C-alpha cells in the first residue's frame, strides 16, 4: 500500500502525464484515433481522471496541442532585422513538419463541428506566432532599422501570414528558401523598415 501512495500522481503531475500521453496519441494516430481509453492507458491513469479535467476528446486534444506548442519559438537575435526575419521564417518553415504542426493540422480538421474549440486552436496558433515577430521588430525599432508603427501585430507578422498562405494555397509543408528570401526582401523589409 505504501508503494502505491508513492507512485500515485495528483494535480499538476497527473495533468502533465495526461497531456503528454494525449500529445503522443495525437502525433501517432491523429485526432480521429484519439480516445480517452488510449490516453488513460498511456498516462497510467483512468478515464475518470481525464474527464474531471477535460469534458471530451476535443477539449483534451486542444489542451494537448497547447501543451505541445508551449515551447514557443525563440526569436533570433542576429543584430540585423533582415537576418532575424529570415532565421525566424526558416525555423517556422522547418517546423511545419514537426509533431506540433501535424497535430495542429489534424485538430483543425477534426474539431470543425465545435466552433469554440476551433477558435481556441486558431487563437493559440496566432499567439504562438506573434510573440517572436514582435520581439524582433521591437529590437529593430530600438536599433533604428524599423519604424515604430511596425510594432503592431498585423504588421510585425506579415511575413508569417504570407508564409502560411504559401502552405495553404499550394498545399506545401515546406517552402523553397528563395521564396522566404523574397518574402523578406520584397515585402517585409519595405513594410517595416525605417
Report in angstroms the alpha-carbon separations of 186 from 87, 134, 156.
16, 20, 15
- Mean pLDDT, the chain, integer: 85
What 3 state SS string does 152-165 have?
Answer: CHHHHCHHHHHHHH
Taking residues 111-133, what's their average pLDDT?
A: 75
pTM reported for the whole predicted model: 0.66
pLDDT of residue 70: 65
Amino acid at each position: 500500500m505504501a508503494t502505491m501512495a508513492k507512485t500515485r500522481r495528483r494535480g499538476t503531475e497527473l495533468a502533465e502525464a495526461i497531456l503528454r500521453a494525449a500529445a503522443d496519441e495525437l502525433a501517432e494516430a491523429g485526432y480521429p484515433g484519439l480516445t480517452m481509453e488510449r490516453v488513460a492507458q498511456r498516462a497510467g491513469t483512468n478515464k475518470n481522471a481525464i474527464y474531471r479535467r477535460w469534458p471530451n476528446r476535443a477539449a483534451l486534444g486542444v489542451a494537448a496541442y497547447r501543451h505541445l506548442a508551449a515551447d514557443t519559438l525563440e526569436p533570433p537575435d542576429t543584430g540585423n532585422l533582415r537576418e532575424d526575419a529570415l532565421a525566424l521564417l526558416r525555423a517556422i518553415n522547418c517546423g511545419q513538419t514537426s509533431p506540433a504542426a501535424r497535430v495542429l493540422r489534424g485538430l483543425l480538421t477534426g474539431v470543425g463541428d465545435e466552433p469554440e474549440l476551433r477558435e481556441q486552436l486558431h487563437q493559440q496558433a496566432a499567439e504562438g506566432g506573434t510573440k517572436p515577430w514582435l520581439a524582433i521588430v521591437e529590437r529593430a525599432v530600438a536599433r533604428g532599422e524599423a519604424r515604430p508603427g511596425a510594432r503592431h501585430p498585423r504588421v510585425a507578422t506579415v511575413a508569417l501570414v504570407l508564409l502560411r498562405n504559401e502552405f495553404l494555397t499550394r498545399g506545401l509543408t515546406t517552402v523553397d528558401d528563395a521564396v522566404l528570401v523574397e518574402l523578406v526582401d520584397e515585402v517585409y523589409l519595405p513594410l517595416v523598415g525605417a
